[in-house]
Amino acid sequence: MAMESNSNPNSVEEESRNWLELPADVTSTILQKLGPIDILINAQDVCSSWRKICEDPLMWRVIDMRYSGDWWDMDYDLEEMCRQAVERSCGQLIYINIERFGTDDLLHYISHSSNQLSRLRLVYCNRISDEGLIEAVSKLPLLEDLELSFCSFDMETLETLGQSCPGLKSLKLNRQFYRRVECDIAALAIAENMPNLRHLQIFGNSLTNRGLEAILDGCPDLESLDLRQCFNLNLAGQLGTKCSGKIKDLRLPHDPTDDYEFSTEIIDYDDDYGYPFGLSDTDLLTDDDDYYEFSGGSDFSDYTDLYFY
């Protein structure tokens, strides 16, 4: 009696399938999950059909250039690669993230090439100046979603951004919390210049109840508010009730931080870190021109800029 074969013709077909023959839309979806860096370095050189797909402007409407590897081992120019990605978008770019490597020149190039941009993410972008950011944003009339986390821009820049972007609906302004520092500069700038905000994340901000009250009054359409690690706030009384009654999605100072992607370390002002990132002595002035008492405080004449957080 002949032995039956256990081989499955379908499994043989699966093993011999040519993945390069997938429909273009399926291949496009797969390639987009790789991200722009892997596409430019590897995927576009696999074959001519993949290269054609990788040159389609629709592939570059969203450009997330965050780099997860070791920066000291990187042997390619992220800024130049980003320019190539923006060029391929042919003006259809709607979102870009230039985390950690953004510069004035790159932001200038993006803003002049992408007038449809609605979402901009700047994280640890300390090579972008106040002037560079203001000039770029003035060229982005459709900007609705802005992140400026762990950056150092002055208060006037934040005010100008709000005035230049009346359609701004979402703002992220995150940092690490510094003990013994109270500062409402950012909160007041937001309250006075961003009335159409619906989503606000100010993780680790040094604002007080005064600043939060101003935000609630100045941003009447606010739907979500992330106040995690804003430990200068006291929400036990009427202000807490006002927050919970007004905000649909409210994250409180002591809420869990498991889903937060950055460091949650709390910095002590007296540590060797120096001034809180983005703060100077002038920030610590009160309305009565007094200043908070800190050990080792320096002469105010050494500082002229007002940083917003």
Reported as a single tens digit per residue, the pLDDT across 49-66 is: 889 988 999 999 999 998
Give the number of other CB atoms < 10 A from CB of residue 192: 16
The predicted-structure confidence for 219-268, as pLDDT tens digits, reads as follows 999 999 999 999 999 999 999 999 999 999 999 999 999 999 999 999 88
Give the residue-averaged pLDDT of 69-98.
89
The residue type found at 100 is R
Find the DSSP H helices in 114-271.
Answer: 130-137, 155-164, 185-193, 209-218, 238-246
SS3 at position 112: helix
CA pair distance 185, 193, nearest whole angstrom:
12
Q: Which helix (H) or strand (E) holds 122?
A: strand 119-123
> Do 159 and 135 form a contact (C-beta atoms < 8 A)?
no
- Nearest alpha-carbon partner for 155 in 193, 121, 117: 193
pTM of the model: 0.82
**Predicted local confidence at residue 151, as pLDDT:** 93
Biggest CA-to-CA distance, the chain = 102
> Do 33 and 42 form a contact (C-beta atoms < 8 A)?
no
List strands edge to edge, sheet with 62-64: 62-64, 95-97, 119-123, 145-149, 170-172, 199-201, 224-226, 249-251
- Average model confidence (pLDDT) across the chain: 84
Asked if residue 96 has pLDDT above 90, the reply is: yes
